[in-house]
Amino acid sequence: HDCLLFHRLLQGLLSILRKLKSTPDQEVRILLLGLDNGGKTTLLKQLASEDISHITPTQGFNIKSVQSQGFKLNVWDIGGQRKIRPYWRNYFENTDVLIYVIDSADRKRFEETGQELAELLDEEKLSGVPVLIFANKQDLLTAAPASEIAEGLNLHTIRDRMWQIQSCSALTGEGIQVSLNPPPNSPTKFLCALILLFSPCFCFS
């Protein structure tokens, strides 16, 4: 069973790397989703080493792009308000990695966020797409640990893709180990960090 999971993990990583080598622009498309007020935009700005002192709710979408030595990393941050969620599917095409952000301190919305995540995982256009779940707002005393969230959302039942859940605080930067500003000698730092995060499949951080 473990060998099968490792095989799926390896195949997923190879598919991303294969796309990098086979497409002229070597583009990686990362989709950032989650409920409103989950901290998606703060997380994205933290990843990009930008100022997070003035954050407003995303009404449409934000895109952060980094191009270095032939590699292009595009992160699409889509608003999470209920009225916007039906439009999420417009951005599914050609997604390489799905990042889903959860407000760990808002326990009243765990059922809602779990339902939205389950629907995303059932989407045909996102079939097999690796998913990285950020259990955000761990700086708050009321935050549920990543292990509790994973159990509540039955993440252990996911068998068709790589997945990982990562504790973090977008506000303090804790648990966010990747950067969208890779140094010149490391153009694939962000991609490599994603691979490292996914490598201990079914592991809580």
pLDDT band for position 107 (cuts 50, 70, 90): very high
Mean pLDDT of 91-120: 95
pLDDT band for position 149 (cuts 50, 70, 90): very high
> Binding site annotation covers 153?
no
CB 42 within 8 A of CB 134: no
> Binding site annotation covers 21?
no
Higher-pLDDT residue of 99, 194: 99
Distances (CA, A) of 46 to 40, 41, 52, 87, 176: 10, 8, 7, 25, 8
Model confidence at 73: pLDDT above 80: no
Model confidence at 203: pLDDT above 80: no
CB 41 within 8 A of CB 108: no
Q: Percentage of the chain with pLDDT > 90? A: 41
Mean pLDDT of 140-167: 92
| Ranges assigned E (strand) in the chain | 27-34, 61-68, 71-78, 97-103, 131-136, 163-167
Spans of all domains in the chain = 2-198
Scored b (16 or more CB within 10 A) or e, 112-124 reads ebbebbeebbeee
Q: Which of 67, 69, 81, 115 is catalytic?
A: 81
Position 96 scores a pLDDT of 85
Mean pLDDT of 2-18: 55
> Binding site annotation covers 137?
yes
- DSSP assigned state of 160: S
Judge: domain 2-198, CATH 3.40.50.300.
yes
Any catalytic annotation for residue 164?
no
Cβ neighbourhood burial of 129 (10 Å; 0-12, 13-18, 19+):
buried
